[in-house]
C-alpha cells in the first residue's frame, strides 16, 4: 500500500522531534523508542484498514498532504514522550465534597507533617539508632510514648496499614486456634478485604456467633472453649444496621473475656481520637473509649479520621504488643522513616490539643458555612465575570474513608447547569478537568457539575477558577 511506503523513517521522525524540543531534552534512545512505537501503531491501523477490520483508533484516513501527515506524526511522538516523562502519581484538586476520598489519596497531610518528612527525608536520622547509648536502636520506639500519652494505652506498635495490623495480631496471637466474632461483623471493609478471609489466611479459625442483626454477650460466652484465642469486635464503620437489631457492647464483650481469661481485640477501622459528635456527626467510638472499656488491643488507621500518613496503629497491653513486635512478620509490615515522621507530627497536634486547627481533615469537618460562603461566592462571581453561567448551590459533603456512613455535612459549592453548557456535556467537562493540569475532580448531580469547596484548599481557589474557565470558555473537550 502507498500509505505504508509514505511513512517516514524512524531517524527522520526523531530529528524532527529534536528540532522542536531540543536535542538535549531527552536521551536519544527515548526518542527512538517513542518514534518506533508510534510508527508501529500507525502500521497496525493501516493493516486493519487494508483488511477491512473495524477499529476505533483515532487515525485520519482521508487524503491529506504529506506535510500534514508528517506533522501529525511528530505531534503524536511528542505526546508519547510527554506520557513517558510525566509522573503517573499527580496532585488532584478534590472538589467532590468527599473529605477522606480513598481514591484520591485519603487524608491530606498537615503542614507540620510535610515539614517533618522534609526534615527527615533529606538527610540521615536516628531511625534505628539510640543517640544516648551510641548503639543500634529500634524504630518502634519513636511513636510508642506519644501514642500511649494520647490514648492511655500501655504500649503501641505501628505497621503499614490497618489491614496489616489485623493480620499481624491474628497470626501472632491466634494461629491454630479460634477467634470468636459476631456474625454481623464478619464484613468486607473495602477493596475485597474480608474479615473471614483474613482470619483464614492467618491460620486462625473463625467462629461466628449470634445472627446478622442480633448478637448477645451470652453468645460469645457459649462459644468459648480451650481452643479460643481471642474475642474480636469489628466496628462496622462503613455501614449501619437499623431496625430489629442488638449489638453486644464492647464492655460486655470485655466482661466475657475477663471471666474466661480471653483477650479482646477491637478493630475500629477508620478510628478517631476526637469525638465526632462535637462536629454535628454521629458519635463514633474513639480509641480512648475502647481502651477505657477494657479492650486489650485496639487497631485503627492512620490516614483516615486521624488525618496522618497511611499506617495501622495498634495500642493496648504491653505484653501483647511485645508479642506482635517479636513476630517475624512485623519486619515485613514495618513503616519507613517518612511515615514515622509524618505520623509523629500529626500525633503531636493531638497531644497539643490543636488537631482541629492543624489537621486538614478536621479543618474541613469543622469548617462552618459562614467561612465557606465568601470563597464560594468569589469563585462563582469570577466565573460569571468571565461569561460562564456559574452559581452558588447548597450541597452536602461526606466524611468518607469508610467512616460515618450516611452522615453528611451541609456545604456550599459552585455549580454549572448542563443546559447552559451545550454543546459540551457535563461528562465532557468533567473528563477535561480530570485529564488536565492540575487534575480537578468535581461531582455530577441533578444535571449540574458541582465543585464543593469544603474539600478544596483555599490556596487552590484561583487555580480552580482558571481550570474551569479554560475548559468551558475555550470549549476544551477531551
Return the pLDDT at 58. 42
More confident residue, 172 or 197: 172
Percent of the chain at pLDDT exceeding 70: 92
Classify residue 36 by burial, with Cβ atoms within 10 Å: 0-12, 13-18, 19+. Answer: middle
Alpha helices in 353-458 (DSSP H): 355-358, 360-366, 369-385, 426-435
- Least confident span in 36-40, 44-48, 50-54, 72-76: 50-54
CA distance linking residue 447 with residue 431, whole number of Å: 16
Name the pLDDT band for 389 (thresholds 50, 70, 90): very high
**Cα separation values, 63 from 70, 250, 421, Å:** 13, 74, 34
Tell me the pLDDT of the chain averaged across its residues.
Answer: 90
State the pLDDT at residue 186.
Answer: 76
- pLDDT grade for 478, boundaries at 50, 70 and 90: very low
DSSP class of residue 442 equals: -
Assess whether pLDDT exceeds 90 at residue 152. yes
pLDDT number for residue 30 = 85
pLDDT at position 474, please? 67
Mean pLDDT of 48-68: 58
pLDDT of 191: 60
Peptide bond into 438 cis (omega under 30): yes
Question: Does the pLDDT value for residue 476 go beyond 50?
Answer: no
Average pLDDT for residues 130-149, to the nearest whole number?
94
Is 102 or 26 the better-scoring residue by pLDDT?
Answer: 102
Among 31-45, 262-276, 364-378, the minimum mean pLDDT is found in 31-45
Query: For the segment 319-339, what is each residue's pLDDT rounded down to a tens digit?
Result: 999 999 999 999 999 999 999
111-139, pLDDT tens digit by residue?
999 999 999 999 999 999 999 999 999 99
Say what the pTM is: 0.85
Mean pLDDT confidence for 191-210: 81
81: DSSP letter: H
Q: How would residue 372 be classed by pLDDT, with cut points 50, 70 and 90?
A: very high
Query: 370: Cβ–Cβ under 8 A, 6 or more apart, which residues?
Result: none
Cα separation, 453 vs 376, whole angstroms: 7
Scanning the structure block, which residue is given the C-alpha cell 496503629? Answer: 313
Q: What is the pLDDT of residue 61?
A: 41
Give the DSSP per-residue string, 288-339: HHHHHTT-SEEEEESSSTT-SSS-EEEEE-HHHHHHHHHSTHHHHT---HHH
Q: Is the dihedral of CA 295, 301, 304, 307 positive or negative?
A: positive
pLDDT at residue 60, rounded to an integer: 41
The yes-or-no verdict on residue 66 having pLDDT over 60 is: yes
375-to-109, 234, 365, 413 alpha-carbon distances in Å: 22, 40, 16, 9
Residues of the chain with CATH 3.40.640.10: 109-358
Q: Which residues pair with 467 in a beta bridge?
A: none
Which CATH number does the domain 109-358 belong to among 2.60.40.1180, 1.10.3720.10, 3.30.1370.10, 3.40.640.10?
Answer: 3.40.640.10
In this predicted structure, the answer to whether residue 92 has a pLDDT above a threshold of 90 is yes
How distant, in Å, are the alpha carbons of 107, 144, 175 from that of 232?
27, 23, 14
Alpha-carbon distance 257 to 212, whole Å? Answer: 21
Question: Picking from 15-19, 388-392, 430-434, which range would have the lowest pLDDT averaged per residue?
Answer: 15-19
| pLDDT at position 1 | 54
To which residue does cell 513517558 refer?
Answer: 84
Of 29 and 178, the one with more pLDDT: 178
Would you identify the CATH topology of the domain 92-101+363-473? 3.90.1150
CA distance 335 to 143: 11
Residue 56's pLDDT band (cuts 50, 70, 90): very low
- Is residue 233 a contact partner of residue 264, using CB atoms and an 8 Å limit? yes
Residues of the chain with CATH 3.90.1150.180: 92-101+363-473
Amino acid at each position: 500500500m502507498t500509505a505504508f511506503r509514505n511513512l517516514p523513517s524512524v531517524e527522520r521522525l526523531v530529528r524532527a522531534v529534536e528540532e522542536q524540543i531540543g536535542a538535549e531534552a531527552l536521551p536519544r534512545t527515548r526518542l527512538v523508542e517513542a518514534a518506533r512505537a508510534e510508527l508501529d501503531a500507525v502500521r497496525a491501523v493501516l493493516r486493519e484498514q487494508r483488511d477491512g477490520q473495524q477499529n476505533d483508533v483515532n487515525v485520519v484516513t482521508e487524503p491529506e498532504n504529506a506535510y500534514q501527515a508528517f506533522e501529525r506524526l511528530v505531534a503524536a511522538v511528542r505526546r508519547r514522550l510527554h506520557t513517558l516523562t510525566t509522573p503517573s502519581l499527580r496532585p488532584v484538586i478534590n472538589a467532590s465534597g468527599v473529605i477522606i476520598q480513598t481514591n484520591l489519596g485519603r487524608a491530606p497531610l498537615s503542614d507540620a507533617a510535610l515539614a517533618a518528612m522534609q526534615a527527615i527525608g533529606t538527610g540521615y536520622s536516628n531511625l534505628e539508632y539510640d543517640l544516648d547509648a551510641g548503639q543500634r536502636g529500634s524504630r518502634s520506639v519513636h511513636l510508642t510514648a506519644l501514642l500511649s500519652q494520647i490514648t492511655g494505652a500501655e504500649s503501641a506498635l505501628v505497621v503499614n496499614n490497618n489491614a496489616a495490623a489485623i493480620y499481624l495480631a491474628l497470626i501472632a496471637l491466634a494461629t491454630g486456634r479460634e477467634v470468636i466474632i459476631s456474625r454481623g461483623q464478619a464484613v468486607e471493609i473495602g477493596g475485597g478485604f474480608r474479615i473471614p478471609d483474613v482470619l483464614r489466611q492467618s491460620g486462625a479459625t473463625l467462629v461466628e456467633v449470634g445472627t446478622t442483626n442480633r448478637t448477645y454477650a451470652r453468645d460469645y460466652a457459649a462459644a468459648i472453649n480451650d481452643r479460643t484465642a481471642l474475642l474480636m469486635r469489628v466496628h462496622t464503620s462503613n455501614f449501619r444496621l437499623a431496625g430489629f437489631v442488638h449489638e453486644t457492647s464492647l464492655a460486655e464483650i470485655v466482661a466475657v473475656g475477663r471471666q474466661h481469661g480471653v483477650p479482646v481485640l477491637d478493630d475500629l477501622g477508620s478510628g478517631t481520637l476526637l469525638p465526632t459528635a462535637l462536629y454535628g456527626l454521629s458519635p463514633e467510638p474513639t480509641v480512648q473509649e475502647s481502651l477505657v472499656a477494657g479492650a486489650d488491643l485496639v487497631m485503627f488507621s492512620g490516614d483516615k479520621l486521624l488525618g496522618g500518613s497511611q499506617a495501622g496503629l495498634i495500642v493496648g497491653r504491653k505484653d501483647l504488643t511485645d508479642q506482635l513486635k517479636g513476630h517475624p512478620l512485623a519486619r515485613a509490615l514495618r513503616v519507613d522513616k517518612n511515615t514515622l515522621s509524618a505520623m509523629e507530627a500529626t500525633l503531636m497536634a493531638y497531644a497539643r490539643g490543636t488537631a482541629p486547627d492543624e489537621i486538614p481533615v478536621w479543618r474541613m469537618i469543622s469548617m462552618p458555612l459562614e467561612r465557606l460562603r465568601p470563597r464560594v461566592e468569589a469563585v462563582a462571581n469570577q466565573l460569571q465575570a468571565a461569561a460562564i453561567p456559574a452559581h452558588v448551590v447548597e450541597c452536602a459533603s461526606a466524611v468518607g474513608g469508610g467512616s460515618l456512613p450516611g452522615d453528611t455535612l451541609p456545604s456550599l459549592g459552585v455549580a454549572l447547569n448542563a443546559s447552559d453548557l451545550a454543546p459540551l456535556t457535563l461528562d465532557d467537562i468533567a473528563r477535561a478537568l480530570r485529564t488536565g493540569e492540575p487534575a480537578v475532580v468535581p461531582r455530577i448531580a441533578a444535571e449540574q457539575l458541582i465543585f464543593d469547596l469544603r474539600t478544596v484548599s483555599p490556596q487552590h481557589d484561583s487555580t480552580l477558577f482558571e481550570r474551569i474557565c479554560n475548559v468551558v470558555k475555550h470549549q476544551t473537550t477531551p
